[in-house]
Amino acid sequence: MPIQVTWWGHATFALQIDGYNVWIDPWLTDNPMTNLTPDKVEADYILVTHGHGDHLGDTIPLAQRTGATVITVAELAHWLDTQGVKTQMQHIGGTVNYPFGKVKLTIAHHGSRLPDGSYAGPPCGVLVRSTGGQTVYHAGDTGLFLDMQLYGDEGIDLAILPIGDAVTMGPDDALRALRLLKPRFAMPMHYNTWEGIKQDEKAWGARVAAETSAQAVLLQPGESFELD
């Protein structure tokens, strides 16, 4: 059964997997790329890559209203526990089975400070392997690293990579990442939200086609991609 991947701008994604609503970094309030508000959406699970406001986003109100389980690294999970949110802590390299599939947390080279200034543990990316067998890699905020090759060895269908530069990989390193990850499809994120991370995603998509074995998937915020 195909899964549906919807981009809500920046690093915010909603996956529909076998009837489960799985969010990644649900930043909607104050996200300049969408008018969607967190009171309008359903969530069963929420994956959070790190504590920065543009990723933690609406996690707390969304989890509180829907009762969704938040999946993230131990330090951030413990902080969320104190906010009245149901959590499942994992850590980098570890996999846990959920009704929608398996989640492994991956390395990300970045920072992770919470809005209140406390430490959220290391940042991460996520590898989601659906019950139907599709594997989605959301890199989180990160620079390029060679170990992406090891994640590529696991077989990735869709790689979602930052291309904004300045605080994450830019377009060139995202292409190098694709050569390590070898996904079937590649989707850019974390660009055009602010002045400092403006990129030409169409030019990047053309380079994906010319320079890698992946097929670029370029969405507008609110659009979905069906992954078989």
Cα–Cα distances in angstroms (integers) from residue 192 to residues 9, 23, 27, 112, 182, in the given order: 9, 21, 15, 22, 25
Which of 141, 165, 173, 201 is in the footprint of Ni ion by CB under 5 A? 141
Q: Are the C-beta atoms of residues 1 and 15 closer than 8 Å to each other?
A: no
Q: State the Cα–Cα distance between residues 173 and 116, nearest whole angstrom.
A: 32
Signed CA dihedral, 29, 199, 47, 228: sign only: positive
- Judged by beta carbon, residue 130 or residue 193, the one nearer Ni ion is 193
In whole angstroms, the minimum distance from the beta carbon of 141 to Ni ion comes to 4
Which of 25, 44, 54, 75 is in the footprint of Mn ion by CB under 5 A? 54
**201 binds, options Mn ion, Ni ion, none, Cβ within 5 to 8 A by partner type:** none
Task: Point out the residue whose Cβ comes nearest to Ni ion.
Answer: 52
Which of 31, 38, 45, 52 is in the footprint of Ni ion by CB under 5 A? 52
165 binds Mn ion (CB under 5 A): no
- Judged by beta carbon, residue 141 or residue 201, the one nearer Mn ion is 141
CB-based burial of residue 78 (10 Å sphere; 0-12 exposed, 13-18 middle, 19+ buried)? Answer: middle
Cβ neighbour number for residue 199 with a 10 Å cutoff: 18
In whole angstroms, the minimum distance from the beta carbon of 131 to Mn ion comes to 29
In whole angstroms, the minimum distance from the beta carbon of 162 to Mn ion comes to 8
Specify the DSSP element, H or E, that contains 67. none
Residues at the site binding Mn ion, with contacts judged by CB under 5 A: 54, 141
Residues at the site binding Ni ion, with contacts judged by CB under 5 A: 52, 141
